[in-house]
Amino acid sequence: MSYVLTLVAAREAMTLTQPVIDQVREAVAGTRTPVILSPGEAADIPGLMTDDLSAARAALGGAPVDVLITRERGRRRRLLVADMDSTIVTTETLDELAGFAGLKAEVAAITRRSMEGEVDFCESLRERVALLRGLELSALEAAWRRVALTPGARTLVATMRGWGARTALVSGGFTFFSARVAALCGFDEHRANVLLDDGVRLTGEVAEPILDRDAKLAALRALAHARGLRRAATLAVGDGANDLAMLRAAGLGIAFRATAVVSAEVANRVDHAGLEALLFAQGCPRRDFTE
């Protein structure tokens, strides 16, 4: 079985030069000529006989370059399942919402523990939402105005849809935000939790059942089954413990700016570049991106 190693540099931090590419190619014993996907930014090194990334990362010596590996065949995936908070958007939307109740630090601390897998996701979500009881619904719109897309989010979705992939935003956050993010990015569909309210204020409750780690995995499997796709044709991306099951199950699971527990479990990681790195990992040159 033959593999392709993909190097993606953080463009604002460094340029991916030919000497750097050659250095990595020698370290991993790539058997064929590298393919430039984006000058100074991304390159494929084909012809590897192993999917071990340690030699490539060691050769880079801590440079801000992401290293991803895929099988040479079938690189372009037909299904994208993406987490929302701290993945497709740069923030944790629940933490931002809590800021309007004066509780951002307290809620963010619980969020961090949940993302690292230190506490049960469902229980932590109920705990955080309970703290927001009585918050006026206008705070949701105010929190939405603070949401920013991660660089490359729109491009990732548009480009994959362009080659016929189904794209789904599957979030442990809330539909109020996921519906807007999905529309902004062009996702085919979105799934998330529902915040309950009395028409004026939040009740401090979330609708059951909660969309958690198991539900994300189930969504990946159901979406693939609906399109008759094998596991190898799927791509999942996320950052927290709640995403681990779907990242492991996908044909290509990518940890994006992930927590320590996720980074330790998922070989393919994007720590420096934007979400365009997921397109490069599928062998897509920048000239073929849909901006």
The yes-or-no answer on residue 83 being catalytic is: yes
Catalytic residue among 44, 83, 95, 243: 83
Handedness of CA 171, 149, 43, 15 (dihedral sign): negative
Contact 242, 216 (CB under 8 A): yes
Q: How many residues does the chain have?
A: 291
Distance, in Å, from the CA atom of 174 to the CA atom of 4, rounded to the nearest integer, reads 37
State how beta strands 3-9 and 65-71 pair: antiparallel
Residue 115 CA: distances (Å) to CA of 3, 108, 110, 184, 215: 31, 10, 9, 25, 16
Contact 231, 249 (CB under 8 A): yes
Distance, in Å, from the CA atom of 34 to the CA atom of 280, rounded to the nearest integer, reads 13
Catalytic residue among 66, 85, 95, 243: 85
The yes-or-no answer on residue 85 being catalytic is: yes
Where in the sequence numbering do the catalytic residues fall? 83, 85
